[in-house]
Amino acid sequence: MEAADSCVECHQSFESGAAAPTQAMTHDVHLQRGLSCADCHGGDPTAADQAAAMDVAKGFIGRPSRSDIPQFCARCHADPSYMRKYNPNLPTDQYAKYLTSQHGKRIAQGDHDVAVCTSCHEAHGIRSKQDPLSPVFPTNIPGTCATCHTDANIMERHGLPVTQHWEYAQSVHGQALLHRGDRGAPHCASCHGSHEAARPGVVAIGNVCAQCHSLTRDLFAKSAHKAAHETLGLPECEVCHGNHLIQKPTDDLLGTGPKALCITCHEPGSKGFVTAQRMRDAIERLKSEEVGATATVKRAAALGMDVSDAEFGLQEASAKLTKARTYVHSFSFSTMEPIVEDGVQHARQADARGQQAIAEFHFRRQGLWISLLIIGLLIIGLIVWIRDLERPRGPS
């Protein structure tokens, strides 16, 4: 007698944890593609007899050891011709990348703490990475990594901290991804890679950040700071912005004030110190002009005047301020200053248009009062003239 799938039929009958794999199969991406237990574990699912179904002679593998799991999954996922039958767009280099990762290198050395395929994707009930409930869906990745990386016992054995997830959750990146659901925000795999997970290293940090902040990285690469960082062996972006606990930058980080980062390296009176202060002064000048122009334009708008041209100028000034803040990473006053000056001119033009609109409002109001006065005088004159006509007149 043959069974449709004796693995499922038998395991579903268990009251122990052995039934769990079949309970998770309803959303398993492999089952949805027509694969079942025997495609991974071998054996004969058509045999009703347990011994026959789990016969090693029929290829039964059973449960692989943890260290064998990457190679176990790679039997299919590293075979392009096999994967093409199910999903031609799915990469087949995951196993090769895994072998280059910190996880892959350490498991090859006999370290069984490290993550394997099932650590991130689950063993059964594997969901598509497009599924919001998948452990590797973008908003879930930090939590998936944290499963191990917040485990003090595991991390202590490897001399690693357990604060990365907490720090990331407080960062500008974590706030965007975890709290606002912005899937464009970077997560652990964006910087460390997924299957090839590794520390970026001093040399590569700038390139990692440049995946999103390309202009900033280009400006830095052309600056004098690039050579200095290479000489001193300093990680480029990380020196000023940190790594996991990256906060939204403010203007206070620039210059020579108490919160400025520049003073951590540049001594008072040095060229870098002076440049930092000049760049901060330029930014503050543009901000001041923008604030003043904005107040003028708002006052004109409140009077009911058309300020669309002035508002366009304000937008241009704001855009130049944003650009100037980016060009701070050139660490060159002469490179940033023309952008600031352009923004100042836009702000001043907006302010002038706002002032002109306010003056026009007052002119119109004065004209209205004069017109009303003239009309009033004409009415009075007309009344006097009519009364004069109605007055009885004596014989001439």
Query: Could you give the CA distance from residue 253 to residue 323 in angstroms, rounded to a whole number?
Result: 16
Question: Which residues are paired to 2 by β-bridges?
Answer: 47
When mean pLDDT is compared over 58-67, 199-208, 337-346, the highest value belongs to 337-346
pLDDT of residue 396: 56
Is 145 in contact with 169 (CB distance < 8 Å)?
Answer: no
Mean pLDDT for 36-51 is: 89
Query: Could you give the CA distance from residue 140 to residue 131 in angstroms, rounded to a whole number?
Result: 10
Query: Could you give the CA distance from residue 220 to residue 352 in angstroms, rounded to a whole number?
Result: 36
Crossing angle of the two packed helices 214-222 and 308-327, in degrees rounded to 10 = 50
- 247-269 pLDDT per residue, tens: 999 999 999 999 999 999 999 99
Instruction: Reply yes or no on whether the pLDDT at 3 is more than 70.
Output: no
**pLDDT tier, 11 (very low <50, low <70, confident <90, very high otherwise):** confident
**pLDDT tier, 395 (very low <50, low <70, confident <90, very high otherwise):** low
Query: Could you give the CA distance from residue 131 to residue 204 in angstroms, rounded to a whole number?
Result: 31
- 179-220 pLDDT per residue, tens: 999 999 999 999 999 999 988 776 788 889 999 999 999 999
pLDDT of residue 1: 43
Q: Which is more confidently placed, 13 or 192? A: 192
The per-residue DSSP string of 327-396 comes to HGGGT-HHHHHHHHHHHHHHHHHHHHHHHHHHHHHHHHHHHHHHHHHHHHHHHHHHHHHHHHHHS-----
Mean of per-residue pLDDT scores for the chain: 93
Query: Could you give the CA distance from residue 105 to residue 196 in angstroms, rounded to a whole number?
Result: 10
Query: Could you give the CA distance from residue 216 to residue 231 in angstroms, rounded to a whole number?
Result: 20
Residue 2 has phi, psi (to 5 degrees) of -105, 145
Is 59 in contact with 43 (CB distance < 8 Å)?
Answer: yes
- 77-107 pLDDT per residue, tens: 999 999 999 999 999 999 999 999 999 999 9
Mean pLDDT for 359-374 is: 95
Residue 383, CA distances (Å) to 201, 373, 391 in order: 94, 15, 12
Instruction: Reply yes or no on whether the pLDDT at 294 is more than 90.
Output: yes
Question: Which of 156, 149, 163 shows the shortest CA–CA distance to 103?
Answer: 149
